[in-house]
Amino acid sequence: MIAALIKEIEIRKEELKNTVIETIYFGGGTPSVLSVNEIQQLIKAVYHNHKVVEHPEITLEANPDDLSEDKIIELSKSPINRLSIGVQSFFEKDLKLMNRAHNSEEAKKSLSLATQYFDNISVDLIYGIPDCTNKEWKQNIQIALSFGVPHISSYALTVEPKTALADFIKKGIIKNVDDDKAQEQFNILIDELTNANFVHYETSNFGKENFFSRNNSSYWLGKSYLGIGPSAHSFDGKQRSWNLRNNTKYIKSIQQNQLPIEREILSKKDRYNEYVMTGLRTIWGVSLKKINTDFGNKYLVYLESQSKKYIEQELLYIENQVLKTTQKGKFLSDGIASDLFMLNLE
């Protein structure tokens, strides 16, 4: 697999030939099972095939149970300079419900060790978990903050079909997800992190100044990115592409110098819809000037017309010709965005 990933980087180097790489992100699945030597090989391949900024953000996603002290020390000596740790919850009952491999003590130990060797750490937390009270949710946030981490990503629990959780809910063993409670806990999250001097810069992301995720911010600001490996997605501003999911077929295809990839050219309508969706999720909002310049007056008139009712409901507002969500509108941003989508005009 490592050889195939390196080869794909080489095969696709022309796709970003005029781009200077700002971030490298090891994510999707559990990249922390890679040895530090394997991680080094992949980073070296990126440097060999691309121009890279002097101080790139290089992130590794990791589960707490993969972060032994030896592994953390090894990683700290590598080019990795940011860890994203999938804690999800510090309560045993929540971790069991989500079928996580780690326990609460492992989560705390991994953070205690990681903060000794890394300054730039992000913690993932899940809200809206059945039977997680608001008091427990506050405790989750405060425990994460007690380790001094500068970034927190937090998502509502979603129940995927054909999972054990979906089956338990269907049988009545576990309560279903309560959207009202999820919204309550989202508001608690905003209050607690705002009080701790975090900036709510994207719907699911909170960072201290200078600790916003440069990688994720690139997606929301519409920058090009290259995804390497099975099921990885890429974007160059005009088209989106994705690799097939099957590991064996992926490796075989790469060995034959063939990209196991599908591509989709984005229409003007698609690009408008994506800009509205990502823009409303961030503190940077949707620039009305950009809408007019990039997509034309018909799109601007449509956006202003569709957003009017949400402005009246105090879910959206316009500031300096930029459309943004209010505090009340943040939790509903995806639903609002979908109502602003262009469905017919081209």
Domain count for the chain, please give it: 2
On the question of pLDDT at 131 being above 90, the answer is no
Strand ordering across the sheet containing 151-156: 20-26, 51-62, 82-88, 121-127, 151-156, 205-207, 199-202
Read off the pLDDT of residues 302-342 as tens digits, 9 standing for 90 and up: 999 999 999 999 999 999 999 999 999 999 999 999 999 99
Q: Is residue 307 one of the residues assigned to a domain?
A: yes
Q: Is residue 76 one of the residues assigned to a domain?
A: yes
- Structure confidence at residue 126 (pLDDT): 96
- Structure confidence at residue 195 (pLDDT): 97
Q: Is residue 259 one of the residues assigned to a domain?
A: no
**Does residue 275 share a domain with residue 216?**
no
Q: Is residue 257 one of the residues assigned to a domain?
A: no
On the question of pLDDT at 179 being above 90, the answer is no
Q: Is residue 255 one of the residues assigned to a domain?
A: no
**Does residue 291 share a domain with residue 164?**
no
CATH at 309:
1.10.10.920
Q: In a 10 Å sphere around its CB, with 0-12 CB exposed, 13-18 middle and 19+ buried, how is residue 323 labelled? A: buried
- Structure confidence at residue 219 (pLDDT): 85
On the question of pLDDT at 168 being above 70, the answer is no
Read off the pLDDT of residues 222-277 as tens digits, 9 standing for 90 and up: 899 999 999 999 998 889 999 999 999 999 999 999 999 999 999 999 999 999 99
Compute the average pLDDT of residues 1-24. 94
| DSSP-assigned letter for residue 176 | P
- Determine the Cα–Cα distance for residues 88 and 63; give it in Å rounded to an integer: 10
On the question of pLDDT at 166 being above 70, the answer is no
- Domain boundary, last residue among 220, 247, 276: 220
State the residue range of the domain holding 63. 20-220
